[in-house]
Amino acid sequence: MRFTVAATHEAPWCVARCHDVDVVSQGETVEEAVENFREALGLYFDGEVLPDSLEPPIITTVLLSA
């Protein structure tokens, strides 16, 4: 199953957030944050049946004038 993950730098951490289910993880690098996310996602679904499918989120940007 494929999940959408966004990684951001929030000093001093890199934070990985899932846009499909409510799971967040962190690490010192993007790679570590994503790997930790993979583990957290496994724990999130531990003992649960994975959904048959997920509709991918719509990701866009919003401009806020100053």
pLDDT at 47: 92
For 52, residues 6+ apart whose C-beta sits below 8 A from its C-beta are none
Q: What is the pTM of this model?
A: 0.78
Q: What does the alpha-carbon distance between residue 65 and residue 46 come to, in Å, rounded to a whole number?
A: 43
Q: What does the alpha-carbon distance between residue 57 and residue 66 come to, in Å, rounded to a whole number?
A: 28
Q: What single DSSP character describes residue 57?
A: P
37-47: average pLDDT? 94
Q: What does the alpha-carbon distance between residue 31 and residue 36 come to, in Å, rounded to a whole number?
A: 9
Q: What does the alpha-carbon distance between residue 11 and residue 36 come to, in Å, rounded to a whole number?
A: 17
pLDDT at 39: 96
What are the extents of the domains in the chain? 5-44
